[in-house]
Amino acid sequence: MTRASSRFSLPARVDAPRPLPIRDAVAILRRGGLVAFPTETVYGLGADASNPMAVARIYEVKGRPASHPVIVHIGDVGQLARWAREIPEAATKLAMRFWPGPLTLVLRRAPSAGSQLTGGQDTIGLRIPGHPVALQLLREFGGGIAAPSANRFGRISPTTAEHVRDDLGKEIESTIVDLSRGRPVLLRPGRIAAGDIAATLGVAPLSRDSDAPRAPGALAAHYAPRQPLRLIESDRWGRSVTGTSHGRGVLSFRSPPEGDMSTMWIKASGQPQQYGHDLYANLRALDLSGCDQILVEEPPATSEWTAIRDRLSRARSG
């Protein structure tokens, strides 16, 4: 990014945008104005998240329906409690692993978080962006900045607009994970891969369209792959899994044979704890690999593998 990345410009209705030092951008936010600022994903068009009039201006300028919630950017994880009334353990894990960074967490909103931010919903989207300018702005401002992406906002400045147009289609926004309802749901795929989220949580997020169980504590609900899953006893593996066939995804304790053409072959951990930790992410990755069946080598019939054998037998198709 060019020098412009460390400056701000006034969005809209300004013919010749001036680059602004951070303290001026902070002053504009404090009096209810809008500032465009870079994040590590895309530009944001920001307003003081605690000022309903300022947030309303974002909607006006973007022509955005009021029912569409906006992400609140914060500069410090300590500010979470100001916006969210409940911070589940999964949120802490993901925040510690990925913030500052391109991940947005959807949590149950605090009563003081205005409904103009949430499209009238009971949840709020929050993230700490990883870009140094965004962070400096947030820290000097001290509050939350509500900001939709400004990537289709072509009037910020000729330079920025050019830059933004160039990047359209390439720039990927933050990954959005909903943690407000128990089992994590991936609302928007983004910079951070679902597999990395799954690895951090020990459970693969559901996709947006699946029926997310609403009951808390459903975190251990099993993941049933869409593709048929077959469990194969270890001592029959050599006879059953022959050749180097296409179309299958494999989870095995072994390495793939030379020239294997499986859509994906995952060599599983021999440690039950690690195996269990990775299981749903692995099944999900195999399910999405384009295979037409998933072959899983049965873990040993010893007590330390019982829970995993149980989960596998529930995931299998027959």
DSSP string of 280-292, one letter each residue: HHHHHHHHTTT-S
Residues paired with 14 in a beta bridge: none
Which of 149/180 has CB closer to Mg ion? 149
Binding segment for ligand TXA (CB under 6 A), chosen from 120-128, 135-143, 194-202, 291-299, is 120-128
* Cα diameter, the chain: 74
Q: Does 41 bind Mg ion (CB under 5 A)?
A: no
How would DSSP label each residue in 118-177? Answer: TTT-SEEEEE----HHHHHHHHHH-S-EE--B-TT-TTS-HHHHHHHHHHTTT----EEE
**Which residue from 50, 174, 227, 262 is in contact with ligand TXA, where contact means CB under 6 A?**
174
- Measured from the CB atom, is 155 or 188 closer to ligand TXA? 188
CA-nearest of 146, 145, 147, 165 to 155 is 165
Q: Are 38 and 87 in contact (CB under 8 A)?
A: no
Nearer to Mg ion, 23 or 165 (CB): 165
Near ligand TXA by CB under 6 A, which window of 83-91, 173-181, 248-256, 269-277?
173-181
CB of 173 to Mg ion, least distance (A): 5
Of positions 28, 42, 58, 268, contacts ligand TXA by CB under 6 A: 42
Minimum distance from CB of 66 to ligand TXA (Å)?
12
Q: How near is the Cβ of 227 to ligand TXA at its closest, in Å?
A: 29
Place of tokens 């914060």: 74
The vertex-175 CA angle with 172 and 177, nearest 5°, equals 165
In the set 17, 75, 100, 125, which binds ligand TXA (CB under 6 A)?
A: 125
The 194-213 contact track toward ligand TXA, x by CB under 6 A, reads --------------------
Q: How many residues bind ligand TXA (CB under 6 A)?
A: 25
- Among 11, 26, 28, 44, which residue sits at the site for ligand TXA (rule: CB under 6 A)? 44
Identify residues 131-190 at the interface with Mg ion (CB under 5 A). 149
Radius of gyration over every alpha carbon of the chain, rounded to an integer in angstroms: 23
Q: Which residues contact 194 (CB under 8 A, 6 or more apart)?
A: 175, 186, 204, 205, 284
- Closest distance of CB 1 from ligand TXA, Å: 15
CB closer to Mg ion out of 149 and 157: 149
**Among residues 83 and 275, whose Cβ is nearest to ligand TXA?**
83
**Residue 56 binding ligand TXA, by CB under 6 A:** no
For 180, counting Cβ atoms within 10 Å of its Cβ (0-12 exposed, 13-18 middle, 19+ buried), the class is buried
